[in-house]
Every structure is written in C-alpha cells, then in structure tokens.
Chain A
C-alpha cells in the first residue's frame, strides 16, 4: 500500500480508536443529560454571578471552570477545596463530572445559585454550564434545563 494511502487509513483508525477509548468510560446508555449555558463577564478582581435555574430532571449539575465557590438556594455551599460535590442519591450513584451536583426533589424545581467567579481580563467571559441529568425512563416529557441570569 502506498504511504499516502497508509497515512489515510492510519488517521481513520487512530481517530476511531481514540473515540472508542474515550467512549468506553462514558456513562451507561440510560444516563441522559440536557445542557444550557450562560457566559458571564469576568472582572480584573473576582466577581459574583447570580443565576436562576429551572430543571425538570433528577439532578442539576454545574460546570464552571472559573468558579471559586457556589452557593445554592438549598443551602449547599461548595468551594474547589471541597473536591467534587455529589449529594446523596442520584448524583452519588450516577454522576462523576466533578464539579457540583445536587438532587432535584420531586423531579422538578427552580434553584438560585450565587457563583464566585475568578478574576479575568476585562472584556472576557466565563462559562457557566448547567446540566439536567437523569435516567430517561424516569424523566418527564418536559425534561430539560433553562437558566436566567439574575441582576
């Protein structure tokens, strides 16, 4: 086989092997997530963002690489030093994303989060990603997540 052909097949197989190697550690097929995100402006000094999250799901998960702390309206307080926060139940059993996960009692609810964001150059933004997670057969037809940035 000529070298360019070999390189093409190698690229194809390496891509496939890489994908499969990543996917082999993915969640069980019944685990489903819906995601929404907001980009909040960063300040040269640390700042705070307030968001309201409405979910129809078993758990609400927050991914915010620039977060220095998260305070939930349910009273849970998280800082990076705490490591991953996973409240008992669904989060503990099914979730390993590593930032913050809390149960949604009754399968739906609205939560407010106050998030301390790390300092960043003026004009840049930090992403706050919110996931709604659950096992598909236990989720309602309204399964999903919406975010509102509060003043």
Chain B
C-alpha cells in the first residue's frame, strides 16, 4: 500500500468515525472519562496517517517507513507538549483559531491541557506498527 493511502485503512476510517461520533454525540450525551479520552485515542491513531497523506501528496518521496516514523513521533511530541505545557497549549489554541480564521470561520478555540491524556500516546506507536507493516507488505510484492 502507498504510504499516502494509509489514511484509507479500515482501522483509520474507524478511528475517524469514532472521533466524529465522540465529539458530536458521545461527549454531549455520555459525558465522562471514556468520552473524555476516546477522541485522544482515535486522533492519535489516525493523525499520523493524515499527516503522512498530506506530506506524501505534496512530496511523494515522503511516503516511506522513515517518514511514517517521523510523523508518529511528531504527533506524539506535539500532543505531549500541548497537554503538559500551558504555553504550548495556548500556542496550539492560537494556531487552530488562526487556521479557522483563515478559513473564514472565526471561532474561539479551547484546549484543556491534561497530562492524563498522555495515556493515549501508545496509539501513535500502534499507528506506526500497523502502518509500517502495510508499507512493508507493499514493498514485498
């Protein structure tokens, strides 16, 4: 499988659907620990594939196992920073609010830094494991 297409893996699509359901349905109707963490687990799984897909579309050379490793590490690092450092969290809010603003949809952005969210970090590792196996499978053909 081409690295750019990892985002189309069934597990990635399930993670995206879970994030959408959790943010728009579960959080409102079943607030609690599980709905508070589910988006982090889902997001950390598919976000490296998202980044890799964007990168590999812009620059096909980025579609390698090494690039997959890099986006997984980057995702985990940024996620850790915004949940551990209030300054990074604020910077993240500015960045996301800025992107919304550029898209013509000015809206406030609230990110609650919570070190407990780091329990979802292994999902970035899982994304690497799943993704690298699929890239390797392709190379073996």
Q: Show the binding face of A for B, using Cβ within 8 Å.
A: 6, 9-10, 13-14, 16-18, 20-29, 31, 33, 35, 61, 63, 84, 94-98, 129, 131, 133
Contacts of A18 in B (CB 8 A): 50, 54
Of all chain B residues, the one with the shortest Cβ separation from A98 is: B94
Which residues from chain B sit less than 8 Å from chain A, CB to CB? Answer: 4-5, 7-8, 12-13, 16, 19-20, 23, 28, 39, 43, 46-47, 50, 53-54, 57, 90, 92-94, 96-97, 99-101, 106-111
Q: A10-B4, A98-B93 are in contact. Are A26 and B107 (CB under 8 A)?
A: yes
Interface of B is mostly: helix
| Sampled A-B contacts (19; CB under 8 Å) | A13-B8, A14-B50, A21-B47, A21-B50, A22-B96, A22-B99, A24-B19, A25-B92, A25-B96, A26-B100, A26-B110, A28-B110, A31-B110, A35-B106, A61-B108, A94-B110, A96-B93, A97-B106, A129-B106
Contact B108 A17, beta carbon cutoff 8 Å = no
16 extra interface residue pairs, beta carbon distance < 8 Å, beyond A35-B106, A97-B108: A13-B12, A14-B7, A17-B16, A20-B20, A24-B23, A25-B93, A25-B96, A27-B107, A27-B109, A28-B110, A29-B28, A61-B108, A95-B108, A97-B97, A97-B109, A98-B93
Please tell me if the beta carbons of B111 and A96 are within 8 angstroms of each other in the complex: yes
Judge whether A27 and B7 touch: CB under 8 Å. Answer: no
Task: Check A33/B108 contact, CB under 8 A, given A17-B7, A96-B90.
Answer: yes
Chain A residues contacting B39 (CB-CB under 8 Å) are: 24
B109 cross-chain contacts in A, Cβ below 8 A: 25-27, 96-97
Q: Which residues of A contact B106 (CB under 8 A)?
A: 33, 35, 63, 97, 129, 131
User: Please, which residue of chain A has its CB at the minimum distance from the CB of B23?
Assistant: A24
Q: In the docked arrangement, what's the CA distance between A41 and B39, Å? A: 44
Chain A contact surface mostly: mixed
Considering residues A6, A9, A14, A33, which has the most beta carbons from chain B within 10 angstroms of its beta carbon? A14
Question: Are A25 and B7 closer than 8 Å at their CB atoms?
Answer: no
Instruction: Please tell me if the beta carbons of B20 and A94 are within 8 angstroms of each other in the complex.
Output: no
If A14-B53, A96-B93 touch, whether A20 touches B19 (CB-CB below 8 Å) is: yes
> For residue A95, which residue of chain B has the nearest CB?
B108
Give the distance to chain A from B103, nearest Cβ to Cβ, in Å.
Answer: 8
Taking CB atoms, residues of chain A closer than 8 Å to B50 are 14, 17-18, 21
When chains A and B are docked, how far (Å) is the Cα of A29 from the Cα of B23? 10
A96 to B92 Cα, complex, angstroms: 11
Tell me how far the C-beta of B19 lies from the nearest C-beta in chain A, rounded to whole angstroms: 5
Whether A6 touches B8, Cβ cut-off 8 Å, given contacts A27-B108, A97-B97, A129-B106, is yes
- Taking CB atoms, residues of chain A closer than 8 Å to B23 are 20, 23-24
Q: How far is the CA of A84 from the CA of B57 in the complex (A)?
A: 36
